[in-house]
């Protein structure tokens, strides 16, 4: 009867869980994609400011004759010698009379070129307050706010510019990005669409629209945009990764693997793309392919490559595929991180446990515990070694030590329950099972406890 009661708890499968579909999907949710960073559009704000120094006749305020004479002298200097141009412009300022809105606008351009954002804002705001339909002053004010991450203010300025008739794709695109940063995705989508209607090949606005589609789980549109971006920018790995994540979200894992394989084959894949590809191979049970990909990570990203190889080995140990696990461990570099080295030793010990090579397992575990006496998984494994060798007293000592480590208290309590049941110490076994159930309830353990209590009562003692 004791044989039927004992729970199969002794250390295998591996002490850390193998990767599952859920692990991959959680890590590759659309919200965690490369797009999630909201990469800023490529923009040369100085070009926009400098190119605005001309005037639109009959649509914008005019300068006085004196201002215009000076303007003609300094306008070419704004891009080459802004400090000198600024001194000339400031010399025109008269405390007794306000400069024209047009002059304020040019002065704002000069301040921007000189890097004085506070005076730039003040000049542009003076211009639009005195001439509210001054389109380019509103636009330049929006550019200033955009470049200083004041996206709410940028939305207001760009919206005013559009309302006054600005139809430039860049204005719409920057408005879309600012709206997106402010969380107004519906308006941002409309703005990006307007920007693309005037500049259909602009990758910044395509990427902005792609972010909106991804965030709204418009998977079909997102896939189409991502494929377009890959065609136009095939060397930018993030677009391949985005497409793979869209396919994963649509539960098209094999297509995602194919996309990432193409990315790797083109020599474009970086750490994130290779990591995801290796994880997908591992999750699909394609272990040789996963191993090959993880090895590619080692030269450029030794920490990530080490972690993935150890995870693959742990998964294989958990599946009792010890020969495959040993093959993976052999691919690890000679020099590992301190934590990686201890994990490698633990996995070797678990493989030895499976083969009942008690001495080999004990040797590796002693190295671990000499460095970290409270390494819970190693204490559990050492307890299993002693059980295999028939030394229940030393096994109990190892399991008791493991109960003092938070991460292994539950499993160590179950191991002690098994051990005490074999010894026919039913009262102690009940105590350990009750401790385990208090930490984590399961029907299996509850049934196990009920059966042990039956043995205890049959023996004439009261259950605790």
CA distances, 194 to each of 44, 146, 208, 406 (Å): 20, 19, 12, 57
Opening angle at CA 8, ends 7 and 11, nearest 5: 125
CA gap 241, 235 in Å, rounded: 12
CB contact set of 20 (below 8 Å; sequence gap of 6+): 283
Predicted confidence band of residue 319 (pLDDT cuts 50, 70, 90): confident
- pLDDT in the model for residue 66: 66
CA gap 348, 367 in Å, rounded: 12
CA gap 227, 229 in Å, rounded: 5
Question: Which residues on neighbouring strands pair with residue 97, listed in sequence order?
Answer: 94
Residues 194-249 pLDDT 10s: 999 999 989 999 999 999 998 899 999 999 999 999 999 999 999 999 999 999 99
- Of 177-186, 300-309, 439-448, the one with minimum mean pLDDT is 300-309
Helices 443-458/409-422 angle, 10° precision: 30
- What does the pLDDT average to over 174-181? 96
- pLDDT in the model for residue 38: 62
- What does the pLDDT average to over 283-309? 87
CA distances, 308 to each of 2, 318, 326, 339, 365 (Å): 40, 15, 15, 13, 22
Question: Which residues on neighbouring strands pair with residue 94, listed in sequence order?
Answer: 97
CA gap 118, 136 in Å, rounded: 18
Nearest to 151 by CA among 188, 180, 112, 128: 180
Task: Give yes or no for residue 27 having a pLDDT over 50.
Answer: no
C-alpha torsion angle, residues 245, 251, 255, 256 (rounded to 10): 20
Q: Tokens 């990764």: give the residue.
A: 241
Residues 83-110 pLDDT 10s: 777 777 776 666 666 778 888 888 888 8
pLDDT above 90: percentage of residues in the chain:
56
CA gap 242, 33 in Å, rounded: 7
Q: Which domains does the chain have, with CATH numbers?
A: 1-18+340-464 (1.25.40.10)
Q: Is 13 helix (H, G, I), strand (E, B) or coil?
A: coil
CA gap 148, 53 in Å, rounded: 21
Nearest to 146 by CA among 173, 108, 185, 122: 173
Question: Which residues on neighbouring strands pair with residue 282, listed in sequence order?
Answer: none
Residues 261-289 pLDDT 10s: 999 999 999 888 998 999 999 889 898 89
pTM above threshold 0.85: no
Predicted confidence band of residue 61 (pLDDT cuts 50, 70, 90): confident
């Amino acid at each position: 009867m004791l044989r039927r009661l004992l729970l199969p708890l002794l250390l295998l499968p591996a002490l850390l869980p193998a990767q599952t579909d859920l692990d991959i999907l959680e890590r590759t949710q659309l919200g965690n994609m490369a797009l999630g960073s909201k990469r800023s559009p490529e923009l040369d704000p100085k070009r926009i400011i400098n190119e605005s120094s001309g005037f639109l006749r009959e649509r914008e305020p005019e300068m006085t004759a004196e201002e215009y004479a000076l303007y003609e002298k300094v306008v070419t200097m704004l891009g080459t010698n802004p400090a000198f141009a600024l001194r000339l412009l400031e010399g025109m300022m008269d405390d007794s009379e306000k400069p024209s809105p047009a002059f304020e606008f040019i002065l704002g351009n000069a301040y921007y070129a000189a890097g004085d954002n506070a005076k730039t804002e003040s000049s542009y705001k003076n211009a639009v307050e005195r001439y509210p339909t001054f389109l380019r002053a509103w636009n330049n004010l929006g550019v200033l706010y955009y470049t200083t991450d004041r996206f709410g203010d940028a939305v207001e300025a760009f919206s005013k510019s559009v309302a006054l008739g600005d139809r430039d794709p860049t204005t719409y695109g920057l408005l879309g990005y600012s709206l997106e940063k402010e969380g107004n995705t519906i308006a941002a989508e409309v703005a990006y669409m307007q920007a693309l209607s005037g500049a259909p090949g602009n990758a910044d606005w395509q990427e902005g629209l792609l972010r909106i589609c991804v965030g709204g789980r418009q998977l079909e549109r997102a896939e189409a945009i991502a494929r377009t971006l890959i065609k136009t920018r095939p060397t930018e790995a993030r677009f391949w990764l985005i497409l793979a994540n869209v396919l994963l979200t649509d539960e098209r894992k094999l297509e995602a693997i194919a996309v990432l394989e193409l990315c790797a084959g083109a020599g474009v894949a970086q750490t994130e793309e290779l990591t995801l590809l290796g994880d997908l191979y591992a999750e699909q049970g394609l272990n040789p392919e996963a191993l090959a990909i993880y090895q590619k990570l080692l030269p450029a990203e030794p920490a990530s490559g080490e972690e993935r190889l150890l995870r693959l080995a742990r998964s294989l140990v958990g599946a009792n595929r010890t020969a495959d696990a040993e093959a993976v461990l052999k691919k690890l570099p000679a020099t590992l991180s301190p934590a990686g080295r201890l994990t490698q030793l633990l996995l070797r010990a678990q493989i030895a446990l499976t083969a009942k090579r008690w001495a080999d397992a004990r040797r590796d575990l002693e190295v671990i515990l000499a460095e970290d006496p409270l390494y819970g998984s190693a204490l559990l494994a050492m307890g299993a070694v002693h059980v295999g060798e028939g030394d229940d007293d030393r096994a109990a000592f190892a399991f008791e030590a493991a109960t003092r480590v938070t991460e292994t208290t539950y499993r160590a309590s179950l191991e002690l329950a098994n051990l005490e049941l074999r010894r026919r110490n039913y009262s102690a076994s009940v105590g350990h099972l009750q401790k385990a159930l208090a930490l984590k309830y399961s029907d299996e353990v509850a049934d196990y406890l009920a059966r042990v209590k039956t043995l205890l009562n049959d023996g004439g003692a009261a259950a605790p």
